[in-house]
Amino acid sequence: MGTARHNLRVDGARLWSTLMETAEFGATPAGGINRLTLSPEDGRVRDWFRAACEAAGLIVGTDELGTQFALRPGRDMTRLPIATGSHLDTQPTGGRFDGILGTLAGLEVVRTLNEAGLETEAPILLVNWTNEEGSRYAPATMASAAHVGTFATADILSRTDADGVSVAEALGRLDIVATEPTGARAIGAFVELHIEQGPILEAEEKTIGVVEGGQGILWFDGTITGFESHAGTTPMPRRRDALLGLAEVALAVERIAHAHGPSAVGTLGEAVIGAPSRNVIPGRVRFTLDIRDPRAATLDAIEGELRTTLTEIAARRSLAITLELVWRQEPVPFDPGIVALVERGAEALGLPHRRMVSGASHDACNLALRVPTAMIFVPCKDGISHNEAESATSADCTAGADLLLQTLLSLANAPRATLQG
């Protein structure tokens, strides 16, 4: 797939400086970032990103969901662009690298190509996808999912956050104006750089994870309804305690995930008591559930066992339990040719590497449904992510960006028939 310039390297110090500069948008006292999607903080980093891209000579557009596309023209503008990027939104207690590294490494690649005076055959496209995290709005990766047609734009625009603010309203508050419809931007291939968000690379002293695909994900919203009554006068046998029902649900999730291990995982990430009071037995609890595994059949089996178990818990405790599936992402294999290209690039750069499956969801997992796609992982300290303590070294970030540069060069200069026929 083309010939890369193996002697060309990014400016690692500049990449690190850019990472630290953008970390000021939504910076937390503990050293992390609170930059929920379409928040004022997100608006400020978006403005910064647009200005930085335009300063690098890129042509910036925005779709109906606020996703930013920055195009570096190629010699042959009839070819579909080779895309890279990730996201700039974070969790409420997010770190400085999750998503951000992939987006800013793409910017560093463009700056490096500009300084070297290199023009690629195909254009290169840098993307900042809206709401990858799914923290303010569900589902996660909703903009990239809408881009490939998994969700309708109108559906996503109508989604609301915990305060009842819709995506459309949040876009309006930031004065984000679309220049193109969702999904109109054609892409020839997509490569995303990301921190691993797990401990494997660091434990094995590998610099690069060559990602073969992403595991499947189920997201549920659940409600447990019992009966509120006095904490001091209601005998234990007569209680319909929704919170105790949740405790059983949590333990059931743990047991079922263990039974389908070692790859299956289950998490109750949120639990909210309706009208909580110290001396009132909880009568209603809302919760969220996240189930993941690389095998679709295992996801089906876990869901079936969960529903059977929840029915039994509800009957035994005189509760009503509902479980609504709000998102399903099937296990996604990445393009074997691009995966092999990433692997060869790591070998050429002398970077210790291993193949792996992504435990987290990424925008690349949506793109892979329509576009040849792969991912590059670099280590993060102790495997910690979605946490203000999230950390990565400058050397590893630079190595990942160097590999991204070589991969994009190979793809953008590949013979036309290789990707686009």
pLDDT digits (tens, 9 = 90+) for 332-369: 999 999 999 999 999 999 999 999 999 888 999 999 99
- Given this model, what pLDDT does residue 360 score? 87
Q: How confident is the model at residue 420 (pLDDT cuts 50, 70, 90)?
A: very low
CA–centroid distance for 222 within its chain:
23
Q: How confident is the model at residue 418 (pLDDT cuts 50, 70, 90)?
A: low
| Residues 82-108: tens digit of each pLDDT | 999 999 999 999 999 999 999 999 999
Q: Which residue has the tokens 């419809």?
A: 181
| Residues 166-188: tens digit of each pLDDT | 999 999 999 999 999 999 999 99
Residue 136 has pLDDT above 80, yes or no: yes
Looking at the DSSP bridge assignments, the partners of residue 267 are 290
| Residues 268-290: tens digit of each pLDDT | 999 999 999 999 999 999 999 99
Compute the average pLDDT of residues 370-383: 97
- Given this model, what pLDDT does residue 416 score? 79
Compute the average pLDDT of residues 220-249: 98
Q: Of 7, 319, 150, 242, which Cα lies nearest the Cα of 141?
A: 150
Q: What is the number of H-type helices and E-type strands within the chain?
A: 13, 15
* 329: amino acid identity, one letter: Q
Q: Could you give the domains of the chain?
A: 12-215+331-420 (3.40.630.10), 219-329 (3.30.70.360)
- Given this model, what pLDDT does residue 98 score? 98
* 393: amino acid identity, one letter: T
> What average pLDDT does the chain have?
96
CB 192 within 8 A of CB 84: yes
In sequence order, what are the residues at sequence separation of 6 or more whose Cβ sits closer than 8 angstroms to the Cβ of residue 275? Answer: 228, 283, 284
Number of Cβ within 10 Å of residue 328's Cβ equals 15
Compute the average pLDDT of residues 223-239: 98
Looking at the DSSP bridge assignments, the partners of residue 358 are 214
CA–centroid distance for 148 within its chain:
15
- Given this model, what pLDDT does residue 2 score? 46
Q: Which residue has the tokens 């690389």?
A: 294
Compute the average pLDDT of residues 30-58: 98
- Given this model, what pLDDT does residue 139 score? 87
Compute the average pLDDT of residues 28-56: 98
What would the two tokens of residue 157 be? 């625009």
